[in-house]
Structure 1
């Protein structure tokens, strides 16, 4: 079910003792949640999330357990940024709970404005590397997914097979993807703790530094390329070099010579997942959008040789 911002504000006052809600505004965040920002009498802002479905509620519970486990790594400086910390929760009539945390001050990352050098691009590379350096037990202990390299390659193969069945993937692009997935050397990597849904709107920055990373419900032990693909696709090329240089310097035992190649492929395969999302949920606009982007990608990559 969906809740109005006023209903969410009421839940926030029940969740956090002493919170006197003076104003509320709706917020859009990834996932199947109702989200609002509530301002208290002292001008402190709070974020409240309430799951709309049972599946979203289960994902939220796993995320909360992970956030609690990550607190140690934030407090000791292993993670050079903060993560949301729950200040309170309120039970929902249909089951599950809404959770509240203080709103973290910062601006959403603008990928297109990244530039080369020791500034934000390098800090972003170090931040992602710090996530990948976490012990895998942090995620596994919360019951979140854990994959071997071979299992993850099989997942990608299944995605491509399903996308191919739609008839919407250009044949030359499909053949290139299949060749990459059959290239065993491309898939020799050490699985790491991966955020799993890292994107610009989950990264907050302030004065040239990454100050927070949110939305951890898709965290898993998986391919480090997943957390880098969005940057390699969207950031200016010189900034990508700075991100990757800082990332590689921060990793302690990185032996993955095909990481960038795989991340670029993962970025392309995101279009296949977008297509499948549209097909599965019968969203014709999404299907057409994905089809158009696949055709553009096919043309661009054929032009590149």
Structure 2
């Protein structure tokens, strides 16, 4: 779907620079509230700094494509459910979970079919998806902050820096 059509339908639209800036802001916010392991912080900083990871275009994404949101008939996806997280933004958003869950050959076949049906990709879409998955603790940290629930904060801390979480629980 053309991003302009999605915008006209009321879908939130973010250009590539906005997506990257939002990640940087979210990482900074979580880093200000939690103790983040140096290894994760270094990984996220390298990801944000390296242009080749990032797409130069935005597309309509579902936001949470995984088995619970897909209807499959005879080994073919026939529908994708729950579009409440849809937006125009990072194309890798819908491929990140898939990239981490299947073999490289299956992932390549998925991308080939996506392109065959009109999708656009860039050389590092798989690597970028892996970095999105590695940044998953950022989303949970934001959720923990929003919820204010101590158990969520502790669980987020455990993902962001297991050593710090162990110190907090002793």
* TM-score after normalising by structure 1: 0.49
SS of 1:205 mapped into structure 2: strand
* Contact 1:274 1:290 (C-alpha < 8 Å) held by counterparts: yes
Match of 1:274 in 2: 140
- Are 1:283 and 2:149 an aligned pair? yes
What is the CA–CA distance in structure 1 between the aligned matches of 2:27 and 2:104, rounded to whole Å?
A: 27
SS of 2:88 mapped into structure 1: strand
Match of 1:261 in 2: 127
Quote the offset at 1:159 in angstroms.
Answer: 0.9
Match of 1:226 in 2: 93
Aligned residue among 161, 166, 185 for 2:52? 185
Kindly tell me the number of residue pairs found equivalent between the two proteins: 162
* Contact 1:271 1:290 (C-alpha < 8 Å) held by counterparts: yes
SS of 1:276 mapped into structure 2: helix
* Contact 1:226 1:263 (C-alpha < 8 Å) held by counterparts: yes
What is the CA–CA distance in structure 2 between the aligned matches of 1:184 and 1:142, rounded to whole Å?
A: 31
Match of 1:160 in 2: 27
What is the CA–CA distance in structure 2 between the aligned matches of 1:237 and 1:283, rounded to whole Å?
A: 38
1:66-77 paired onto structure 2 within 5 Å: none
- Are 1:175 and 2:42 an aligned pair? yes
Greater length-normalized contact order (CA 8 Å, ≥ 6 residues apart): 2
1:42-53 paired onto structure 2 within 5 Å: none
Describe the shift of the 1:292–1:233 C-alpha distance in structure 2 as closer, same or farther (beyond 3 A).
farther
1:195-254 C-alpha deviation (Å, 9 max, x unpaired): 1232321111122111111111221111101111111223355433332332233335x3
* Contact 2:34 2:157 (C-alpha < 8 Å) held by counterparts: no
- Please, which runs of 5 or more residues in structure 1 have no aligned partner? 1-133, 297-305
Quote the offset at 1:266 in angstroms.
Answer: 1.2
What is the CA–CA distance in structure 2 between the aligned matches of 1:273 and 1:201, rounded to whole Å?
A: 20
Describe the shift of the 1:238–1:135 C-alpha distance in structure 2 as closer, same or farther (beyond 3 A).
same
Describe the shift of the 1:240–1:160 C-alpha distance in structure 2 as closer, same or farther (beyond 3 A).
same
- Are 1:251 and 2:118 an aligned pair? yes
- Please, which runs of 5 or more residues in structure 2 have no aligned partner? 163-170
What is the CA–CA distance in structure 2 between the aligned matches of 1:202 and 1:261, rounded to whole Å?
A: 24
* TM-score after normalising by structure 2: 0.83
What is the CA–CA distance in structure 2 between the aligned matches of 1:286 and 1:237, rounded to whole Å?
A: 33
Select the structure that is richer in helix. Answer: 2
What is the CA–CA distance in structure 1 between the aligned matches of 2:68 and 2:152, rounded to whole Å?
A: 20
Match of 2:82 in 1: 215
Select the structure that is richer in strand. Answer: 1
